[in-house]
Amino acid sequence: MKFVDEAFIDVAAGDGGNGCVSFRHEKYKEFGGPNGGDGGRGGHVYVVADPNLNTLVDYRYARRYEAKRGEHGMGSDMFGAAGDDITLKMPVGTIISDADTGQVLLELLNPGEVVVLAKGGDGGFGNMRFKSAINRAPRQKTPGWPGERKNLKLELKVLADVGLLGMPNAGKSTLIAAVSNARPKIADYPFTTLHPNLGVVRVGPEQSFVIADIPGLIEGASEGAGLGHQFLRHLQRTRLLLHVVDMAPFDEAVDPVAQAKAIVAELKKYDKALHDKPRWLVLNKLDMVPAQERAARVADFVKRFKWKGPVFQISALTREGCEPLIRAVYEQVHIQQVAEAGPVAEVDPRFAAEPSAKP
């Protein structure tokens, strides 16, 4: 399925039905009185966060969504039926904003979350609503209220705990395939990854985290080089970034330190908050470096890159060093999850005992 992470749609809730002017016409009742019913409510437009979806491709081609209007009121005290609602399914992580003003209206962060996107208009009043001691035969009615209409921008930011960052062909796809259930395209040429891939990493029983791989960045991405910055949005919700570096590039003239610095510079140009996220260094493809040269090459890289954070040496192809990496990543993600959840409220000992049974 084609991956689409941005779309524009128009939604229109249903208008309310009009009220009715009617009077009773029964045998032996000369003045039956008003019996015009109210109009029905227009249909709402709902949106639901569907965990089974991972793309907005359905909204790239079908852009207009309208709910049914309410039925008009009728005589004999009959109210109009409400218009049918419609429900739009969108991936978890979708941001819905006003296309004209850019204001964010809502974010779908919880699977199964249901929100009213556009409210249907209320039905109009029939003439029975206007009956009074003074006005015994009202001929007033009101039209139905119009439903809400909105021009919306949909933007998908995948929900992942960990994001992979690096140059094309750094081995990010091989790494996510080695440690998770994701099966991205892997080849010996750059830009094999053309859209984000998500994978679940199982560390142990009930111990897991979600990792995301995005297309590689190159120097000049902020000016549109390569695939540009268009997929960096998918790293903005992550808790930890893994900067994957190719330590054995095919071209011996390529300096891994210069490439790593270029990635950091592009990250800072795109979003300072993303640049300031916790970031670990993952030195990949060490299986292609002679064993006697590994320590010296790693030490030289760390020194010239002026890196003071965590460093992991791995080979995603042979999975050497991957186990300690995912263990450390899980512990870091778990610590952040606990910190974000906040302290657990203490239970008053007076209410800790089991409640007594009622007689």
Question: Edge-to-edge strand order for the sheet containing 197-204?
Answer: 197-204, 207-213, 162-166, 240-246, 279-284, 311-313
Predicted confidence at residue 226, as pLDDT, reads 44
Q: Are 89 and 22 in contact (CB under 8 A)?
A: no
Residue 231: exposure state from Cβ atoms within 10 A (0-12, 13-18, ≥19): buried
Query: What CATH architecture is 162-341?
Result: 3-Layer(aba) Sandwich (3.40)
Query: What CATH architecture is 1-156?
Result: Distorted Sandwich (2.70)
3-class secondary structure, 280: strand
Closest CA to 103 of 156, 160, 48, 155: 155
Predicted confidence at residue 81, as pLDDT, reads 92
Predicted confidence at residue 190, as pLDDT, reads 44
Predicted confidence at residue 342, as pLDDT, reads 62
Model confidence pLDDT, tens digit, residues 30-82: 667 898 999 999 999 999 998 888 778 888 888 999 999 999 999 888 999 99
Predicted confidence at residue 204, as pLDDT, reads 78
- How far CA 269 is from CA of 141, 234, 293, 334, in Å, comes to 60, 16, 35, 29
3-class secondary structure, 78: strand
pTM exceeds 0.85 for this model: no
Element (DSSP H or E) covering residue 275:
helix 272-275
Predicted confidence at residue 150, as pLDDT, reads 94
The pair of structure tokens assigned to 302 is 């760390």
Looking at the chain, the domain(s) classified CATH 3.40.50.300 span 162-341
Looking at the chain, the domain(s) classified CATH 2.70.210.12 span 1-156
Predicted confidence at residue 254, as pLDDT, reads 82
Tens-digit pLDDT profile for the chain (359 aa)?
A: 345 578 899 999 999 999 999 988 877 776 678 989 999 999 999 999 988 887 788 888 889 999 999 999 998 889 999 999 999 999 888 899 999 898 999 988 888 899 999 999 999 999 998 998 888 889 899 999 999 999 999 988 777 788 888 887 778 888 888 888 656 544 444 444 455 677 788 887 778 888 888 765 655 544 554 444 566 776 777 888 899 988 888 777 788 888 888 888 888 888 888 888 888 999 988 888 888 888 998 999 899 988 888 899 988 888 888 899 989 998 888 888 777 766 644 545 544 444 444 43
